[in-house]
């Protein structure tokens, strides 16, 4: 009798619903977002171009004009398995195996058209050094401390139009404008604007727009 009364009482209680919040991973978000096919096609081409630029930089840094194919960085999925830690010296091979298993190492180099384009780019960059210096001064003037991390400049040196050796050809050749100093973090350098008055004549584009708007008749924009 008591169990029947408890069943009637519990059946009249309101049912509580439990909500489970599902987490959306970054990959799920990327797959569900709206994509522009034209933009995605250009981005795929740009990614391939970045890979080509990396290989081109390796060729420029190598003393000879050719580079060993095995010196290229391997993807993580095809890396060679690590050697056992207890084995300091690799086991010797039989005398007849090295001759049979050592093929000629493939080398690669740039084509003549790529070398010609690289030379034209270098000449163009060195001819536009005054513009590059002015661009770097403007970039440092945007900072309140007139300083930038050197590694941050390295990340955008190609977009800024800087030459490959901009530390020697731009920074060292203009000590009256730029200076390098060590930061508190080890192995970190800071590029600073030595002559702070060089960027004092720079005016923001919004200020020029404000002047133009104030010169119009019946404009309600405050010029101050």
Q: What is the DSSP string of 67-120?
A: EEGGGSPPPGGGPPPPPPTT-SSPPPPPTTHHHHH-PPPPEEE--HHHHHHHHH
- 193 versus 51: the higher-pLDDT residue is 193
Is 46 inside any structural domain?
Answer: no
CA distance linking residue 29 with residue 122, whole number of Å: 42
| Average pLDDT score, the chain | 71
3-state secondary structure of 32: helix
What is the pLDDT at residue 198? 62
Q: In angstroms, what CA-CA distances link 151 with 53, 155, 176, 180, 183?
A: 19, 6, 21, 12, 12
pLDDT of residue 93 exceeding 60, the answer is no
What is the pLDDT at residue 3? 67
The CATH number linked to 189 is: 1.10.10
Is 82 inside any structural domain?
Answer: no
Is 88 inside any structural domain?
Answer: no
Is 120 inside any structural domain?
Answer: yes
Give the domain extent around 176: 115-196
Is 164 inside any structural domain?
Answer: yes
What is the pLDDT at residue 144? 82
Is 2 inside any structural domain?
Answer: no
Q: Rounded mean pLDDT of 207-217?
A: 72
pTM for the model stands at 0.48
Is 67 inside any structural domain?
Answer: no
What is the pLDDT at residue 98? 37
What is the pLDDT at residue 132? 86
Q: For 96-132, how does the pLDDT look when each residue is reduced to its tens digit (9 = 90+)?
A: 433 433 456 666 677 778 778 878 887 887 888 888 8
Is 131 inside any structural domain?
Answer: yes
**Total tally of structural domains belonging to the chain:** 1
Q: For 39-68, how does the pLDDT look when each residue is reduced to its tens digit (9 = 90+)?
A: 777 778 777 777 777 777 777 766 666 666
What is the pLDDT at residue 80? 44
**Burial of residue 174 (number of CB atoms within 10 Å: 0-12, 13-18, 19+):** middle
What is the pLDDT at residue 6? 60
């Amino acid at each position: 009798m008591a169990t029947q009364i408890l069943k009637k009482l519990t059946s009249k209680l309101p049912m509580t619903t439990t909500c489970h919040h599902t987490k959306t991973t970054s990959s799920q978000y990327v797959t569900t977002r709206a994509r522009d096919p034209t933009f995605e096609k250009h981005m795929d081409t740009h990614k391939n171009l970045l890979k080509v630029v990396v290989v081109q930089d390796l060729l420029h840094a190598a003393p000879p004009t050719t580079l060993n194919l095995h010196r290229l960085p391997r993807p993580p999925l095809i890396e060679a398995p690590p050697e056992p830690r207890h084995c300091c010296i690799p086991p010797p091979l039989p005398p007849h195996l090295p001759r049979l298993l050592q093929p000629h190492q493939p080398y690669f180099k740039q084509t003549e058209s790529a070398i010609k384009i690289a030379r034209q780019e270098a000449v163009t960059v060195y001819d536009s050094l005054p513009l590059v210096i002015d661009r770097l001064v403007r970039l440092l003037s945007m900072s309140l401390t007139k300083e930038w991390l050197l590694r941050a400049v390295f990340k955008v040196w190609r977009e800024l139009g800087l030459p490959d050796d901009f530390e020697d050809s731009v920074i060292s050749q203009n000590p009256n404008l730029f200076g390098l100093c060590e930061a508190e973090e080890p192995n970190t350098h800071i590029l600073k604007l030595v002559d702070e008055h060089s960027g004092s004549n720079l005016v923001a584009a919004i200020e020029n727009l404000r002047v133009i708007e104030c010169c119009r008749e019946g404009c309600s924009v405050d010029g101050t």
